[in-house]
Chains A and B, each alone.
Chain A
């Protein structure tokens, strides 16, 4: 494992307890993200991509969820790694927003409807950029009082704010100005044309695209190393979507952060991601550079997914639909989850869980077609039709 990796998810499994049994939402998932790169996590509803993303920040509620196995290693500034899943709540909170940030699908739900945009962002800056604020307010030298700190963090109540305002008028004014300017800069950075007006508005007064920009400003307030974007444009119109994705791309280039991009839309992957991991029923079935994977998909599911996308060229009525439905994830049998719908499925597929095999530089696929009978320990007759490329066990 190279030491340039920023985030490493290793053998992550997340289970959910329900009245019907234990659902394996994420099943032994491993991948890594390097600094500055964009990895897309693609799959349909219920494949586990959102749960995986949330697990990185430990946002999965436990119960009913539980981290059944695995670790999420984040590289620290000194080169060492720490496992987020076994860190203390305090450490995890320090990571959230600071080193890893997240934006969600529905910006309306992520913004507090009772606060103006200005106040919400002020809170974020107060939490994470205290030193910068005090520097800008020329208060750093004199070691600002507890009260000043609380005011900056927006945790002071009205009386305390009044007290601060009265006792140190100059400092209070400068602090407020510093906060407002940071917020305005952050908003202007995302292409919002009239930041002052937006700061005074409430979330419900903004359009979807505008809210998403605010959320991006909020997420990037503290310059995280990794941004997790969970379907950020699904709820937006196509023309706005294009601009928001452009914006995220720009921010990435300007700040050099990595992006984990969760989506169900393969066409977006092509335009915006360096690498892609395709998930099905809780497992990663294929991973590799996005151009390669989309041009020559290896896993039957990826192929099926690409063929199912409607295009002008496909004759009508002949979209290659994948037959069947996604299997239930409750106490799943030990086999390839896709076997029930795969045209190549054979006995081996129904009895042995496929592991990721390396089939090229940076490409892995979890399919028995790329394996051989000997390494699986099954009779040759049980194997599916072999693919043209042979895979080697990764790791």
Chain B
């Protein structure tokens, strides 16, 4: 790890003013089982995300289902409380640098002045330490447009009440004045006065999404979280809505967080993008750079899997093997390594990887395992019912790409196998170039995206 690797520093930290700066945000849902509802594990929906959302731009958040992007969106909009982490609101570039610096200091190293600065910063910008008034202000300033336009509008409320509700709740207007404001908002999104007294079911999908947008704009926010706003719409309607969003951004100086799984849309709409996988950010940078020159295998795979109308370059297409791992127990090291086409020894192979692989590809052998005695995630003694399967297993491990990661050779002792891998710490985001971050272990070592092996085992 040669690059600057400070887990506390945020992406974009210190580069521009941010509407929101998140540090090490985690959302872990407890899994309860049994009569007494014992907690047996945690679903790590979001597992350590540090990200700054630059003011006035569109930040794209991309990933497939289960990556945590929707949960992250909900944390930002206040619908879900994070289990861990800090959310700093409305911080300038200087403020962010200060926060970075102060957070890196241990309590002993902090002088009086530093402590005072930190306290001041916390009281004006940290969610949870700010005054109630300021928190309310942030909540007003951050609005959301949801994906499914039909279920995001109360079917029993008139458009007037739906769009006017934020104004009513925050007591900004009432009666006729309220109606006028609602008409203004409707006109801004391309609807009209005649739509005021209608019910959601009387509109088409695209129109409902416009109503949703009008509602989000009611309190004149600075920051709008768009959670898959066009995923449920036809292509031609999507184009209308995307154009509208761009226009509104220009007119009102909005900052967007655009969450989507559609690579075409995000390439078109976002200035910079963050790619998420299994609750963490895999790569980050300006949109064009990230797509043309990905620095993480997952980004490359996403790009290659995405069908396009462009003439694709004839470079080899990368793809993902296996299935999405269990979010309760994600792989050690780099989370992608069991499925990654360029994973090598240093990527974090562990006992579980081998066991899962055996279960999938050699199920008969897997059933002969009687016991697994773990001394850590990386080393264990596996016991079989006879000596023969034990030897088979050892041979098998020798053929996996994981075998390069072994600490010492696999030892077979009667009917049990001792296996020990090199302990690897979990992958972290590191800055590769100015404004470009990647969490791929190999990329960080090599300085560029690894090449695909022409001869691949497994």
Contact = CB atoms under 8 A, between A and B. Distances in A.
Contacts of B363: 194, 196-197
Interface in A236-288: 237-239, 241-243, 264-268, 270-271
B207 to A, nearest CB: 9
Nearest to A47: B234
Contacts of B206: 325
Given A238-B263, A239-B301, A310-B238, A316 B64 contact: no
B454 interface: no
A131 B320 CA distance: 39
Contact of A306 (B240, B247, B309): B309
Interface residues of A, number: 40
Contact of B243 (A45, A207, A311, A318): A318
A322 B241 CA distance: 11
Given A193-B361, A239-B320, A271-B307, A322 B236 contact: yes
Contacts of B307: 242, 265, 267-268, 270-271
B239 A320 contact: yes
B385 interface: no
Nearest to B232: A45
A250 B38 CA distance: 47
A239 B267 contact: no
Interface in A182-229: 193-194, 196-197, 207, 209-210
Of the listed residues B234, B243, B310, B320, the one surrounded by the most CB atoms of chain A closer than 10 A to its CB is: B234
Contact of A239 (B238, B247, B287, B305): B305
Contacts of B267: 310-312
Tell me whether chain B's interface is mostly helix, strand or loop, or mixed. helix
Nearest to A319: B239
A320 B268 CA distance: 13
B242 A319 contact: yes
A267 B235 contact: no
Interface in A321-369: 321-322, 325
A316 B58 CA distance: 11
Contacts of B360: 193-194
A193 B362 CA distance: 9
B246 interface: yes
A298 B73 CA distance: 42
A314 interface: yes
Interface string B98-142: 000000000000000000000000000000000000000000000
20 contacts: A194-B363, A196-B363, A209-B323, A210-B323, A239-B64, A242-B307, A242-B319, A267-B306, A267-B309, A270-B307, A294-B309, A308-B235, A310-B239, A310-B268, A311-B264, A311-B267, A311-B310, A317-B242, A322-B239, A325-B206
Interface of B: 64-65, 204-206, 234-240, 242-243, 246-247, 250, 261, 263-265, 267-269, 287-288, 291, 301-302, 304-310, 319-320, 323-324, 359-361, 363
Interface of A: 44-45, 193-194, 196-197, 207, 209-210, 237-239, 241-243, 264-268, 270-271, 294, 304-306, 308-312, 314, 316-322, 325
Shortest 6 CB-CB contacts between residues of A and residues of B: A317-B246, A310-B268, A321-B239, A308-B239, A237-B64, A44-B234
